[in-house]
Structure 1
Amino acid sequence: MTPPIGIVSLETASPPYELSQDEVLETVLTHFGDRFPLVERLAPVFANSGIRTRQAVRPLEWYLESRGWPERSATYLEGALDLFCDAAGKALAAAGLTGADVDVIVTASTTGVATPSLEARAMGRMGFRPDAARVPVFGIGCAGGATGLALASRLAAAQPGATVLFVTVELCTLAFRNDEVSATDIVATALFGDGAAACVLRSGEDGFARVASYAEHTWPDSLDVMGWRMDGQGLGVVLSQFVPPFVQKKLRPAMETMLAAQGLGMEDVDRFICHPGGAKVIEALETALDLGQGALDVERDVLRAHGNMSAPTVLFILDRIRRHGLPPRSVLTAMGPGFTASTVALLAA
């Protein structure tokens, strides 16, 4: 029998520069208005995003200069490493542990390329043991918070007694493009922020929640829904305008199938904990899962304060909810490139 896997601790981290949505809009209009008339026409996206503030690894003026792939990569390595160590250090301290206690490190990050990967670069700062297993995961984007948590749970179950550290870091702001502006780029500029989250997992009953099960669903022929395009300037956003209607139409049947495979029905879930994406995606989630308008209140709060940080976002939401008390059974879910929905069923401790 698979032992229960406890989430012993969960902590989050944000970079130092806070960007107000009004300030970002004003800067974008001033900087791009003459060159790209499309910007002014799409300005309402900023007001309708549901976001007031976001955090970034660099001050706003940094993004207005021309930045190529080498400079963006160097910024990713520095900023992502700092956030990795911040989130991981707080999660280990909350669990009463140090880096030397960690047996397995799972790292999920899709907004930059690090080889060696982030946990290897963090070994000296964090005091990880030389024999700690490293599992870097790339390419899962916004689904990474749920997918990475599920993977960390599987590894904890496969090695009873091992301490597994899961860290997800995303620097979405580095995809801001100065060389060209499309409707997708404007939407991304209105949505994305930077952040990190970390969990300590271990087999047993310890922690604020137990991982009961997990599942994924990937829709065929959906590669163009979300992802990155890469060129000499760096990463460019692939983000279909049809994400909200896709979610509203497709998610419910997939969720029912995933839950059924875990011996659950929709009625067995006390709270869905959802990656918010954006304001329209939250509305689509509430409709698709028949939750009622306004049910995803914490999701809206996190989006308002931090923007869409990609993978860490759903763990920011889980952190807020668990601090007020998790319901008996919840399902953490996020969607990302693939196009894939990932779920983790949790039982409150």
Structure 2
Amino acid sequence: MPVIEAVATALPRYRLTQAEAKQLAARLFQSFHQAVDRYLSVFDHAAIDERYLCMPPEWYERDNPFSEKNRRFIDMACQLGKEAVDRCLAESGRSPADIDHVIVVTSTGIATPSLDAHLMNRLPFRRNIRRTPVWGLGCAGGVAGLTLACEWAQAFPRSRVLMVAIECCSLTFQRHDLSKRNLVAASLFADGAAAVLVAGDDAGAVGPRWLGSMSHTWEDSLDLMGWHVTDDGLEVVFSKQIPAFVRQYLLPVVKEFLQQHDLSGAAALRHVIAHPGGAKVLHALMEVLPMDPAAVAPSWRVLKRYGNMSSPTVLFVLKEVMQSGPKPGDCGLLLAMGPGFSVEQVLLAW
């Protein structure tokens, strides 16, 4: 089965503590909504200490049109993506010439030519590699992209596939959206990128093995998460019902996937590599899946240090787990939910 040869991450330059983020939100919203103070407590309960943004705080205090936001997105996404790829290849001892397929996942901006084409003009990849852009999966994109990479490597056992997840969530911020969901999103979301190198059976690589994947999309759940496209850009759709939805519907889907691989349940997993979509979502996940709290501790640490970066966040968790020294025979479940409403799962074994 394919193996994960390396994982690397990249962050933009502007670090913001949660207290600073709260102060920024107060300045942004106070001029439009005098009652904003009572909503700012969401920043205190987000379980986030700090995050990283693509632009300095004062940029977000200006009225930036969609064209400006998207121009910044392309510039920053290419910069972060290249940095993550450079680190991933250096860690694995590989070069761009060793890569057979590049998959780039994003949901926070629009680019045609797509970001993978931009990366091909910044890195010396072979001209004949395959490239696949993936757009619109939101927080589930990192796990879905990993599945695509592993399935390709399984079909072509001598190949190496590079999957890059890049998000600039902060650039989608809507300064004049006074909804509580926009304030909640501002308390959670951040920017970052991650790159994963996947190698087929005959490529001579070592690392955790991919055992399989499973996707599930629930019926009549389109309104839980996503974007509304407005004249000002991408307006967040982020339902307060998501934690309750997780409690009600997630467990049977996870059980089905684990049973396909002869695992009795989450308690059999040493590592639950969950996308930390927010404190309420992680708490709901822990209530639903009976597991050792230590199994999901890396997700809490990533949320605390980086916030929710959408698709790359779960790959930050995967990197931390891989660096922790898993024992041979350990199993790990990658899990992330996103617009659809969908859940993506990947099972790994060390």
Q: TM-score, structure 2 length as denominator?
A: 0.96
Structure 2 matches for 1:60-209, cutoff 5 A? 60-204=57-201, 206-209=205-208
| Structure 2 unmatched runs, 5+ | none
Paired position in structure 2 for 1:278: 278
Task: Tell me, yes or no, if structure 1 residue 331 matches structure 2 residue 326.
Answer: no
Task: Tell me, yes or no, if structure 1 residue 227 matches structure 2 residue 251.
Answer: no
For residues 185-235 of structure 1, give each alpha carbon's deviation from its aligned partner in whole angstroms, at most 9, with x where no partner exists: 000000000000001111126232111111111110000111011111111
For residues 52-81 of structure 1, give each alpha carbon's deviation from its aligned partner in whole angstroms, at most 9, with x where no partner exists: 111011011101100111001100000000
Identity of aligned residues (%): 38
The whole-number CA distance in structure 2 between the counterparts of 1:292 and 1:243 is 23
Compute the displacement of 1:258 (Å).
2.1
The whole-number CA distance in structure 2 between the counterparts of 1:261 and 1:114 is 38
**Amino acid in structure 2 at the alignment position of 1:337:** P
Task: Tell me, yes or no, if structure 1 residue 301 matches structure 2 residue 298.
Answer: no
Q: Indicate the SS of the match to 2:109.
A: coil
Q: Indicate the SS of the match to 1:65.
A: coil
The answer to whether the 8 Å contact 1:275/1:314 transfers is yes
**Amino acid in structure 1 at the alignment position of 2:19:** D
- The alpha-carbon distance between structure 1 residues 38 and 183, as it changes in their structure 2 partners (threshold 3 A), is farther
**Amino acid in structure 2 at the alignment position of 1:342:** E
Q: Indicate the SS of the match to 1:174.
A: helix
Q: Indicate the SS of the match to 2:44.
A: helix
Paired position in structure 2 for 1:344: 346
Q: Indicate the SS of the match to 2:254.
A: helix
Paired position in structure 1 for 2:316: 316
The answer to whether the 8 Å contact 2:209/2:349 transfers is yes
The answer to whether the 8 Å contact 1:286/1:295 transfers is no
305-314 vs 93-102, greater mean Cα deviation = 93-102
**Amino acid in structure 2 at the alignment position of 1:245:** A
Compute the displacement of 1:291 (Å).
2.3
Paired position in structure 2 for 1:212: 211
The whole-number CA distance in structure 2 between the counterparts of 1:162 and 1:86 is 22
Q: Indicate the SS of the match to 2:287.
A: helix
Compute the displacement of 1:259 (Å).
2.0
122-131 vs 4-13, greater mean Cα deviation = 122-131
**Amino acid in structure 1 at the alignment position of 2:36:** V
Paired position in structure 2 for 1:7: 4
**CA root-mean-square deviation:** 1.3
The whole-number CA distance in structure 1 between the counterparts of 2:7 and 2:189 is 22
The whole-number CA distance in structure 2 between the counterparts of 1:179 and 1:61 is 16
The whole-number CA distance in structure 1 between the counterparts of 2:18 and 2:246 is 26
- The alpha-carbon distance between structure 1 residues 320 and 293, as it changes in their structure 2 partners (threshold 3 A), is closer
The whole-number CA distance in structure 1 between the counterparts of 2:264 and 2:199 is 27
The answer to whether the 8 Å contact 1:9/1:207 transfers is no
Compute the displacement of 1:312 (Å).
0.5
The whole-number CA distance in structure 1 between the counterparts of 2:4 and 2:242 is 31
For residues 275-315 of structure 1, give each alpha carbon's deviation from its aligned partner in whole angstroms, at most 9, with x where no partner exists: 01111111111111122556522111111110000010111
Compute the displacement of 1:268 (Å).
3.4
The answer to whether the 8 Å contact 1:216/1:258 transfers is no
Paired position in structure 1 for 2:17: 20
Q: TM-score, structure 1 length as denominator?
A: 0.96
Paired position in structure 2 for 1:287: 287
Task: Tell me, yes or no, if structure 1 residue 55 matches structure 2 residue 57.
Answer: no
The answer to whether the 8 Å contact 1:217/1:258 transfers is no
Compute the displacement of 1:38 (Å).
4.2
The whole-number CA distance in structure 2 between the counterparts of 1:38 and 1:71 is 30
The answer to whether the 8 Å contact 1:38/1:183 transfers is no
Q: Indicate the SS of the match to 2:122.
A: helix
The whole-number CA distance in structure 1 between the counterparts of 2:251 and 2:87 is 36
| Structure 1 unmatched runs, 5+ | none
Q: Indicate the SS of the match to 2:285.
A: helix
Compute the displacement of 1:265 (Å).
2.7
Compute the displacement of 1:39 (Å).
2.2
- The alpha-carbon distance between structure 1 residues 128 and 38, as it changes in their structure 2 partners (threshold 3 A), is farther
- The alpha-carbon distance between structure 1 residues 294 and 47, as it changes in their structure 2 partners (threshold 3 A), is farther
The number of residue pairs the alignment matches comes to 345
The answer to whether the 8 Å contact 1:212/1:346 transfers is yes
- The alpha-carbon distance between structure 1 residues 42 and 128, as it changes in their structure 2 partners (threshold 3 A), is same
Paired position in structure 2 for 1:46: 43
For residues 124-173 of structure 1, give each alpha carbon's deviation from its aligned partner in whole angstroms, at most 9, with x where no partner exists: 22111110100110111100111110110001111110110010001111
